[in-house]
């Protein structure tokens, strides 16, 4: 990889085979180097291929204003999320996360901390992302010799969630609201207090998050045909209350989001409702099916 323009000791610009501009970041990677010289690629923390002039300016401003160590911390966090939790993230999360870490550390050194109003929801509905956030603040505290509060774990989780959603951060608030409303329907319809710490409820929330993404951004129909019809009949016979609750949810989604649940959607909704309510009702004949 050859240098086309040096930005500072820790960053330079090069081009790929398609002549696209690439911004390369790594500690001391450009130190003592000159135009068209090769670099030690093992020092690379992250490469960016700007998709617009706005992206390019943002990245260049960050390269000039933010210490390279924060880029390295952000990379460790993203790598952790991808490796341990199999979370798929867009590249935009590196930029947002690096900027957030830098600002958080600066505030912490001044004794200023922000309250995260969504901390409970993040902990409850996005446990994987929140656990990454907790790991991240331990890393930042160690690397930067500070003490970040748990609220910051929630903020980092939000950036990870945003990366999962393709930088549609507004979706985070809408998904939270969607999960709350569906859970309320189940609680009211089934007359139970749901154990929100249970594995079954965690699976239900995960299902709702994926369902939301599909409902909002997929247009093609999905069905498992006759098998879905047959299985639905079985579910209706064994779990009539859960099925009726699923029908209430179907009607709510149709009226609110103009989306009609397929038999497959109804099937899995019924299964999840049966799972999360069976213990509360003392019922042990629940249907156990993995998605």
Highest mean pLDDT among 23-27, 148-152, 194-198, 235-239: 148-152
Averaged confidence pLDDT in the chain = 82
Pair 199, 275: CB distance under 8 Å:
no
Of 34 and 210, the one with more pLDDT: 34
pLDDT of residue 87 exceeding 50, the answer is yes
Range in 115-119, 219-223, 250-254 the model is least confident about: 219-223
Q: What single DSSP character describes residue 286?
A: -
User: Tokens 């709510």 map to which residue?
Assistant: 252
How far apart are the C-alpha atoms of 187 and 195, rounded to whole Å?
11
3-class SS at 85? helix
19-40 pLDDT per residue, tens? 889 999 988 899 898 898 999 8
101-115 pLDDT per residue, tens? 998 999 899 888 888
Domain locations along the chain: 5-50, 68-167, 170-278
CA–CA distance from 159 to each of 99, 181, 194 (Å)?
Answer: 11, 24, 28
SS (H, E, C) 221-232: CCCCHHHHHHHH
3-state percent breakdown (helix, strand, coil) of the chain, nearest 5: 60, 5, 30
Of 145 and 169, the one with more pLDDT: 145
Which tokens is 172 given?
A: 């985070």
3-class SS at 149? coil
Question: Sorting pLDDT into bands at 50, 70 and 90, what band is 224?
Answer: very low
Question: Sorting pLDDT into bands at 50, 70 and 90, what band is 120?
Answer: confident
Q: Could you tell me how many residues make up the chain?
A: 291
Question: Sorting pLDDT into bands at 50, 70 and 90, what band is 279?
Answer: low
pLDDT confidence of residue 186 = 94
pLDDT of residue 262 exceeding 70, the answer is yes
Q: Quick one: fold of 5-50?
A: Transcription Regulation, Sacy; Chain A (2.30.24)
How far apart are the C-alpha atoms of 5 and 186, rounded to whole Å?
59
Pair 179, 208: CB distance under 8 Å:
yes
Q: Quick one: fold of 170-278?
A: PTS-regulatory domain, PRD (1.10.1790)
CA atoms within 13 A on the CB side of 261: 25
Sign (positive or negative) of CA dihedral 18, 19, 20, 25 = positive
pLDDT of residue 288 exceeding 60, the answer is no
3-class SS at 24? strand
Of 235 and 6, the one with more pLDDT: 6
How far apart are the C-alpha atoms of 175 and 219, rounded to whole Å?
18
How far apart are the C-alpha atoms of 191 and 281, rounded to whole Å?
9
Q: Quick one: fold of 68-167?
A: PTS-regulatory domain, PRD (1.10.1790)
Same topology, domains 68-167 and 170-278? Answer is: yes
Of 51 and 170, the one with more pLDDT: 51
Share of the chain above pLDDT 90, in %: 28
35: enclosing H helix or E strand: none
Question: Sorting pLDDT into bands at 50, 70 and 90, what band is 233?
Answer: low
Question: Sorting pLDDT into bands at 50, 70 and 90, what band is 138?
Answer: very high
pLDDT of residue 286 exceeding 60, the answer is no
pLDDT of residue 148 exceeding 60, the answer is yes
Range in 78-87, 177-186, 195-204, 213-222 the model is least confident about: 213-222
Range in 56-70, 89-103, 223-237 the model is least confident about: 223-237
């Amino acid at each position: 990889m050859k240098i086309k323009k040096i930005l500072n000791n820790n960053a330079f610009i090069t081009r790929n085979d398609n002549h696209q501009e690439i911004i390369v970041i790594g500690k001391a990677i450009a130190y003592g180097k000159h135009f068209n010289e090769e670099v030690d690629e093992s020092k690379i923390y992250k490469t960016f291929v700007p998709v617009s002039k706005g992206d390019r300016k943002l990245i260049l401003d960050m390269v000039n204003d933010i210490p390279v160590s924060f880029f390295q911390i952000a990379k460790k966090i993203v790598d952790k999320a991808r490796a341990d939790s199999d979370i798929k993230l867009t590249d935009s999360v590196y930029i947002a996360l690096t900027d957030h870490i830098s600002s958080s550390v600066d505030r912490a050194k001044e004794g200023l901390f922000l309250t995260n109003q969504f901390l409970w929801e993040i902990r409850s509905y996005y446990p994987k992302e929140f656990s990454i956030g907790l790991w991240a603040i331990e890393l930042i505290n160690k690397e930067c010799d500070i003490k970040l509060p748990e609220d910051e774990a929630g903020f980092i989780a939000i950036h990870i969630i945003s990366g999962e959603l393709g930088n549609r951060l507004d979706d985070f608030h809408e998904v939270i609201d969607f999960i709350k409303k569906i859970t309320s329907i189940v609680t009211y319809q089934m007359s139970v207090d749901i154990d929100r710490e249970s594995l079954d409820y965690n699976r239900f929330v995960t299902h709702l998050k994926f369902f939301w993404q599909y409902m909002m951004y997929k247009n093609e129909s999905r069905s498992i045909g006759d098998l879905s019809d047959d299985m639905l009949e079985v579910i209706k016979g064994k779990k009539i209350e859960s099925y009726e609750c699923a029908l209430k949810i179907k009607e709510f989604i149709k009226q609110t989001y103009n989306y009609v649940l397929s038999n497959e959607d109804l099937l899995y909704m019924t299964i999840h409702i049966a799972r999360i309510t069976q213990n509360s009702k003392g019922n042990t004949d629940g249907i156990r099916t993995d998605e």
